[in-house]
Amino acid sequence: MVKVFSLGDNSWRDIQCLPVIPLHWFDARNNKDVYFNGTINWLAYCNHDFYLRGIPENYVILSLDLSTESYTQIMLPPGFDKGPNVQANIALLMNFLCFCRDFERNHFLIWKMKDFGVQDSWVQLFKISYHNFYSTNAQLFDLQHLEILPIYLSENGYTLIFTHNYNSNAPVFICDCRDDTVEPTRISDTIGWLWAKDYIESLVPTC
């Protein structure tokens, strides 16, 4: 059951149940939704029972349209929908919905959806080699639990800021996307954080 609270009349109402269960649905710290253009989006498993039993399962993006209170399931880039051992993420970069995941334990890929909701509009945005992470001499990532999360992409598309999302005390890195170089930030102490979201006055777009 899904309930929506309205500040206007201070009341709860039921809407359509989730057709699939988002990743980390019961873990508030790791439950990462992305708001985009009047929709809330989650990365989800097509069959959560398979995931609980350790059976490889496909990913899908679950999108809730707040104006119609209806769900859409968005397919991922071809060949990247199968759930890997390493966690994947979705993020909003330069006002595009992006899908981020490991590729064969050698690279970190970011795909962007140029036309929201259109399967054929996925294009690969970045392919960052893990070799460059180790050349920073900073805290190394555990590839068994690797979960990189993009935080910000500059307007010119040259500078990507990201962190290791598996650890709340993770360092923050800066990647120059023109030459694929990775450098740690100059903050000397480990950053302790929970999570931050952009403030949005109203989640429902006005007509």
pLDDT tens for 91-131 read 999 999 999 887 877 788 899 999 999 989 999 998 888 77
Structure confidence at residue 70 (pLDDT): 92
Structure confidence at residue 9 (pLDDT): 85
Strand locations in the chain, DSSP E? Answer: 2-6, 11-15, 21-22, 34-36, 39-45, 59-65, 70-74, 89-93, 96-103, 107-113, 122-129, 148-153, 159-164, 172-176, 181-184
Structure confidence at residue 106 (pLDDT): 78
Higher pLDDT, 29 or 63: 63
Q: Which residue intervals of the chain are DSSP H helices? A: 48-52, 131-134
Highest mean pLDDT among 52-61, 88-97, 189-198: 88-97
pTM of the model: 0.79
pLDDT tens for 11-46 read 998 998 888 878 766 555 555 789 998 899 998 877
Find, among 147, 51, 18, the residue nearest to 91 by Cα.
147
Structure confidence at residue 20 (pLDDT): 84
Question: What would the two tokens of residue 83 be?
Answer: 């759930």
